[in-house]
Structure 1
Amino acid sequence: YFYRKGKPPRRHPPKKPSSNQTDPVGVYCRVRPLGAEDEECCIEVISSTTIQMHTPEGFKTNRNGEYKETQYSFKKVFGVSVSQMELFEHVAKPLVDDLIRGKNGLLFTYGVTGSGKTFTMTGSPGQGGLLPRSLDMIFNSIGPYQAKRYVFKTDEKNSIEIQTEVDALLERQRRDNNLSVPKTPSTRLKADPEIADMIKPEETSKSDGVDDDSSYSVFVSYVEIYNNYIYDLLEETQEDAIKPKWNGGGTPVRQNTELIPPQSKILREDQNHIMYVAGCLEVEVKSAEEAFQVFWRGQKKRKVANTRLNRESSRSHSVFIIKLAQAPLDADGDNVLQDKNQISVSQLCLVDLAGSERTGRTGAEGTRIREAGNINQSLLNLRTCIEILRENQMCGTNKMVPYRDSKITHLFKNYFDGEGKVRMVVCVNPKTDDYEETLLVMRFAEMTQEVEVARPVDRPICGFTPGRRHRNQQHQVCFPLLLPSLPSCELTDPHDDITLPRLIEALKNRQRIKQMLMKDYNKIANMMKPVLQELDTSLISKDNFIQEQNGKLIEKDKIIQGNKAEIERLEKKTKMQEHKIDILQKTTKIFEDDKRSLQHELETREQRLQRELSEKRRMEQRMHGVISDTQFKWEKECERRVNALQLEMQNKLWVKDEKLKQLKAIVTESKTPGRPEPPPRQTQSASPSPVPVCCLKTIMVNGILPIQSLNGHFSQPGQEESCVLEQIRPRHRRSCSAGGEKWVDHKPSSSMDLGTVLQPVIPNAIQVSAPSEKALSKCDRYVLTHQEVASDGEIQTKLIKGDVIKTRGGGQAVQFTDIETLKQELTTCSVAVAMRAGSNLGPGLEHHAVTKRRKP
């Protein structure tokens, strides 16, 4: 391994203690009671671990149109009659036991809006939820073993520090001096509920895993994730500016006059690579009542809104974090051991997720739509993370889990990576209106159960002798008269002249008693010395025997040391071989990556070469087409020019012939006897002799009269046009279809006769039901008969006509030029009108009248 010059090596995160054992995510299901007894139910609890969903009417899922019934299994299913106490015993109590033993835990409720998530987490008076019962169990277990306030102190880097008793006392006095007059309960508009109102006395719980030789302290914090931003619910805001500020110990302090709006918090990673909310207020609490009041103070700030489905719908994800710090006592069992490395910090996160909802059902508008979108997006990202975790574990893939796409998944990524147990309570509403959303929730819960989370490792136990606290308490009970208890040493007033003299007097008295005890101890020790000397002589013989045994043990130890040295040598050799294997694997991986990249580059170049070859072939074909088109165009142009020159030459020859004929006629007429002499030759203004009509008819080519060829015969410009128009009436040009052109009559076999008066008749046509290359090669024109239903419900026939042209490749193509429509009208008309309508049809078709009775 080589490092870049000038840069230190990258520090890798410390390895966590490996645990080969894993536990699946525990998923529990709780069914909410129906609001009305006559309401239809779509969920049925068939066992303690299975529920069955009945598809309501209107939701047919299989191909036969039958209603589908699906069963889903969970770790445990709680029906509508299950109490809050029974739910806590199965779900949250094991997590509280792990918290006291130094292990982390995550518990969150999941479901659609109005399914009972907040009731499951918080509860109501007389029916406390998971959160107040967890607080009650924690303080019932560690109550006698709590440290004094401020002995454990939090810092801003998600760690706990230890202070001495004196430092903690000074900090308490400093904070107590800043106290203001607390608010009286009479000023409250509505009294906050107490934890005694939430939990009945007979329902309290206690853990058996408390270490008597440790000291404990509890810190709580409360945040919400609203629109993917994190806000501290215990932080003072504008609404709390007139209220007394919390000092972290359950007492209000001096009022803050500045109005500070709530600021969003950011997530950070501590030195142990644990995610935490930076700048979040952590309050040290000493009782369940105090902790519940802190929770309720933040609960009143949580974002809720009134929707069509829920009167107080949660618009954010709330996270209540209970952090338990514990450290062992010293060897005497009196004070907390002043060693930061011996502190064990565990936390339990209770998350109340906002419910997924559809805006169409909730009637949300404006801000509520944006809130619902952010809630659904965060829940969707949670599902995505669970799916990728499941795929990585089941398929052996190594896809990156997108924890950072949402704050709720980024905050709890450590739990899914093996920092503690994960439990989920799926709350469902059995009414049929929530069937679609409940079905998605069930599928997600079923998938979540397949995710495995590494089991946390037990924390190491301090090496001191157990029972130190109990032994110290017995010592104080056995000698109550010898060592009197110290009076109270708290200073409530800087001018107090009684507490310190009293404490000094008590310490002097204890010192005097201690000296008396030392004298008695020395007297008893002198009496015990002869007895000990006798015991020494009896022990010498035993020492010889022990020395012999020790010699044998030394020999055995040498053998063991030799075996250990051999084992260490083999372990070093094994590590060296493993190191070489790692290097070879990394080298192989590098070569494989290079091979894949070169193969990819080769494939890319081959694809590029293929594209270039195909492009070259297309260009060649295109150029061949352009050359053939150009050649064909120029051949046509040359043919047209040759025909024009031939026509011009023919016209000139014809003019000369006509002039010779006229001259011959004049000469013959002058020589004919009995005829008068011809009149003298006129000037240019005289009108020439008219041209015979038959001659003009013979020179008409394709219906075009070349009048320009007569310019040489007339004496005045423009005279030839008037002469032609007066002497010759040009014949009407006939349709091309009546000539030598052939038609392809494409008439599908499904065509039907409408019974109209005018019917199309195409002589010399090849009738086909499907176009063929052979038929098109023999014909010049093409007509297609197409029938369709008009807007008025009648059937109309369309005649689509076109020209058959040759393509560059030697085939035939049809270029459509005209469309004629035949339609049957509701009113009757005469044959003359039909004939006139038929005469407007396009060229190339002739029609004959058929007398037929129309429909009325």
Structure 2
Amino acid sequence: VLPMGSSDMASQPQSDSVKVAVNVRPLITPELVLGCTDCVTVTPGEPQVQIGPHVFTYDHVYGSTGSSSSLIFEQCVYPLVDSLFCGYNTTVLAYGQTGSGKTYTMGTNYSGESNCGGIIPQVMETIFKKADAMKGDTEFLIRVSFIEIFKEEVFDLLDDPGSVAKAAAPARVPIQIRETANGSITLAGVTEAEVKSKEEMALHLARGSLSRATGSTNMNSQSSRSHAIFTISIEQKRTSSSASEKSTSNEYDILSSKFHLVDLAGSERAKRTGADGLRLKEGIHINRGLLALGNVISALGDEKKRKEGAFVPYRDSKLTRLLQDSLGGNSKTVMIACISPADSNAEETINTLKYANRARNIQNKAVINRDPVTAEMQKLRSQLEQLQSELLFSRSGSAALEELQLLQQKVSLLELKNSELYCELKEREMSCEQLAQRAIATQLEKDQLMLKLESARNGKSWDDIENAGSEQVC
């Protein structure tokens, strides 16, 4: 019997703050041509960023004089892949100004090249490596979806394989957001393609990337005009388990988890981007969604408001509704704030760093996502163990002590009786052996008498009879 409260601890929500990393990209050619200088300083050996009088501390800092950007996946994202296979929802969120390197960091513009960098290609490779290593005792169902939020409407980037310039096609039908009975957010009719290899998944990513809305601005010739969310869903069914696992978990446990990889459109100022007409309207929608996201982060990051149960404005935009679990909900989340070190972008960089600093205070409550039937069985098993523990504790005292002493006496009597029976068995075995030897001796004497009688009848001597008997024996 397990002690009360120790069963099925893994299914209890785990409170975990949002991890925040800052990625400082190098100065790019247009900035160098304009004579921009580096205004961002990274404290050597510390995850600390300084810009002017402002100093910010994060979980990780990459680029500039900090750690290499190539370590982002290993240090920030790989632990999320491990959590994904344990049944937790996970999220990587890239935020920053237009042209700060969000899409490059995430790898959302994946074109199928094997040497292409970015977080998403590395996530795909790692997922299938881990799945292959677990094939012996686990069955996997892996699916992907790819959506974008363009002008405050949600569109499926995997809906029509034949369409490439989907961003400009007015005939696209937006997807409706639905909320289930348990409060989770779903997308009605979104394409969830089943994939069996990294190559299949990469094909869907590349196809969806081509369909994503992009446009040229003064700050970025290939500026993302939409928020993109690439989601990897995994269902795993354990087909066998060791003896130790069977005692604590269901042999056929089914876990389902999702990995959201979010590439946000960049925050921008119309004056800096030179946007007008259609581009200006797109920028307004982008900034509106990011403002709503900022309000959600502010509401969740304020400890005083959180304790008072302050209202969180998730419904102010489609983006915040879709990220409801990733920020303050059932997910383990990493936010990567991408910034430009150019002094011309100093104001936007400071805003991004403030944004990311508030996100560090958000507390998520991740829980393992089990199949409802399995979860109910685990719940009943936990209740049974608790009742057994309570029953054991209720029997403590004199009554339990007397019962224990009585049982000990019974055990002693049984051991004594067992010892007596064992001795009696040995004696009977010895008696049986003696009787068998006596029967053999009697039979020999009888045979000799019969031979003597026969010799007397035939007139032969005893020696001749004895020799004849020996020959017969041989």
Question: 1:340 and 1:141, CA in 2 relative to 1: closer, same or farther beyond 3 A?
Answer: closer
Distance 1:117 1:421 in 2: 20
Q: Which amino acid aligns with 1:407?
A: K
Structure 2 residue corresponding to 1:140, chosen from 117, 124, 129: 129
Alignment match, 2:281: 370
Would the aligned equivalents of 2:147 and 2:154 in 1 still touch at CA under 8 Å?
A: yes
Alignment match, 1:79: 63
Distance 1:415 1:559 in 2: 37
Would the aligned equivalents of 1:74 and 1:446 in 2 still touch at CA under 8 Å?
A: yes
Would the aligned equivalents of 1:390 and 1:450 in 2 still touch at CA under 8 Å?
A: yes
Structure 2 residue corresponding to 1:35, chosen from 16, 28, 40: 28
Would the aligned equivalents of 1:237 and 1:262 in 2 still touch at CA under 8 Å?
A: no
Structure 1, unaligned runs of 5 or more: 1-15, 55-68, 147-211, 242-258, 333-338, 464-557, 568-856
Alignment match, 1:284: 194
C-alpha displacement of 1:86: 1.2
Would the aligned equivalents of 1:26 and 1:422 in 2 still touch at CA under 8 Å?
A: yes
Question: 1:46 and 1:263, CA in 2 relative to 1: closer, same or farther beyond 3 A?
Answer: same
TM-score (norm 2): 0.68
The 5-angstrom pairing of residues 693-842 of structure 1 reads none
C-alpha displacement of 1:127: 4.4
The 5-angstrom pairing of residues 548-627 of structure 1 reads 561=391, 563-564=393-394
C-alpha displacement of 1:239: 3.2
Question: 1:390 and 1:280, CA in 2 relative to 1: closer, same or farther beyond 3 A?
Answer: same
Question: 1:306 and 1:103, CA in 2 relative to 1: closer, same or farther beyond 3 A?
Answer: same
Structure 1 residue corresponding to 2:50, chosen from 32, 49, 52: 52
Compare relative contact order (CA 8 Å, sep 6+) and give the higher one, 1 or 2.
2
Distance 2:391 2:251 in 1: 36
Question: 1:143 and 1:119, CA in 2 relative to 1: closer, same or farther beyond 3 A?
Answer: same
SS in 2 for 1:344: strand
Alignment match, 1:102: 87
Distance 2:42 2:123 in 1: 27
Alignment match, 1:402: 313
Structure 1 residue corresponding to 2:364, chosen from 453, 470, 475: 453
Q: Does 1:113 align with 2:98?
A: yes
SS in 1 for 2:22: strand
C-alpha displacement of 1:223: 0.3
Aligned length: 355
Structure 2 residue corresponding to 1:420, chosen from 310, 313, 331: 331
% same residue: 33
C-alpha displacement of 1:416: 2.8
Give CA deviations for 1:399-440 in whole Å, capped at 9, x if unaligned: 211101111110121233431111100000010111111111
Would the aligned equivalents of 2:89 and 2:366 in 1 still touch at CA under 8 Å?
A: no
Q: Which amino acid aligns with 1:419?
A: N
SS in 2 for 1:418: coil
Q: Which amino acid aligns with 2:96?
A: G
Structure 1 residue corresponding to 2:302, chosen from 383, 386, 391: 391
Distance 2:239 2:320 in 1: 37
Give CA deviations for 1:423-467 in whole Å, capped at 9, x if unaligned: 10000001011111111111111111112222435869x89xxxx
Question: 1:364 and 1:457, CA in 2 relative to 1: closer, same or farther beyond 3 A?
Answer: same
When structure 1 is superposed on structure 2, of 420-429 and 31-40 the one drifting more is 31-40
Question: 1:214 and 1:341, CA in 2 relative to 1: closer, same or farther beyond 3 A?
Answer: closer
C-alpha displacement of 1:354: 0.2
Give CA deviations for 1:483-533 in whole Å, capped at 9, x if unaligned: xxxxxxxxxxxxxxxxxxxxxxxxxxxxxxxxxxxxxxxxxxxxxxxxxxx
C-alpha displacement of 1:41: 1.2
Alignment match, 1:674: none
Distance 2:159 2:195 in 1: 16
The 5-angstrom pairing of residues 295-694 of structure 1 reads 295-329=205-239, 342-391=253-302, 396-457=307-368, 561=391, 563-564=393-394
Question: 1:231 and 1:46, CA in 2 relative to 1: closer, same or farther beyond 3 A?
Answer: same
Q: Which amino acid aligns with 2:150?
A: Y
Would the aligned equivalents of 2:87 and 2:368 in 1 still touch at CA under 8 Å?
A: no
Would the aligned equivalents of 1:145 and 1:216 in 2 still touch at CA under 8 Å?
A: no
Would the aligned equivalents of 2:41 and 2:64 in 1 still touch at CA under 8 Å?
A: no
After the TM superposition, list the runs of 4 or more consecutive aligned residues in structure 1 that deviate by more than 6 angstroms: none
Give CA deviations for 1:458-481 in whole Å, capped at 9, x if unaligned: 869x89xxxxxxxxxxxxxxxxxx
Distance 1:133 1:25 in 2: 21
Distance 1:277 1:395 in 2: 28
Structure 2 residue corresponding to 1:267, chosen from 177, 181, 186: 177
The 5-angstrom pairing of residues 4-43 of structure 1 reads 18-19=12-13, 21-36=14-29, 39-43=36-40
- Provide the aligned C-alpha RMSD in A: 3.3
Distance 2:59 2:235 in 1: 31
Question: 1:119 and 1:260, CA in 2 relative to 1: closer, same or farther beyond 3 A?
Answer: closer
Distance 1:408 1:565 in 2: 56
SS in 2 for 1:92: helix
Give CA deviations for 1:655-675 in whole Å, capped at 9, x if unaligned: xxxxxxxxxxxxxxxxxxxxx
Q: Which amino acid aligns with 2:117?
A: G
The 5-angstrom pairing of residues 110-259 of structure 1 reads 110-122=95-107, 126-143=115-132, 145=134, 212-236=136-160, 239=163
Distance 1:238 1:142 in 2: 31
C-alpha displacement of 1:217: 1.8
TM-score (norm 1): 0.39
Question: 1:342 and 1:109, CA in 2 relative to 1: closer, same or farther beyond 3 A?
Answer: same
Would the aligned equivalents of 1:24 and 1:452 in 2 still touch at CA under 8 Å?
A: yes
Distance 1:106 1:566 in 2: 49
Question: 1:560 and 1:293, CA in 2 relative to 1: closer, same or farther beyond 3 A?
Answer: closer
Give CA deviations for 1:47-87 in whole Å, capped at 9, x if unaligned: 33001103xxxxxxxxxxxxxx2211110100147555411
Q: Which amino acid aligns with 2:129?
A: N
SS in 2 for 1:442: helix
Distance 1:322 1:23 in 2: 22
Would the aligned equivalents of 1:219 and 1:322 in 2 still touch at CA under 8 Å?
A: yes
Structure 2, unaligned runs of 5 or more: 1-9, 243-249, 376-387, 398-474
SS in 2 for 1:41: coil
Would the aligned equivalents of 1:84 and 1:130 in 2 still touch at CA under 8 Å?
A: no
Distance 1:562 1:360 in 2: 74
Q: Which amino acid aligns with 2:367?
A: P
Q: Which amino acid aligns with 2:38?
A: C
SS in 2 for 1:236: coil
Give CA deviations for 1:778-799 in whole Å, capped at 9, x if unaligned: xxxxxxxxxxxxxxxxxxxxxx
Question: 1:240 and 1:383, CA in 2 relative to 1: closer, same or farther beyond 3 A?
Answer: closer
| Structure number with larger C-alpha Rg | 1
Q: Which amino acid aligns with 2:21?
A: Y
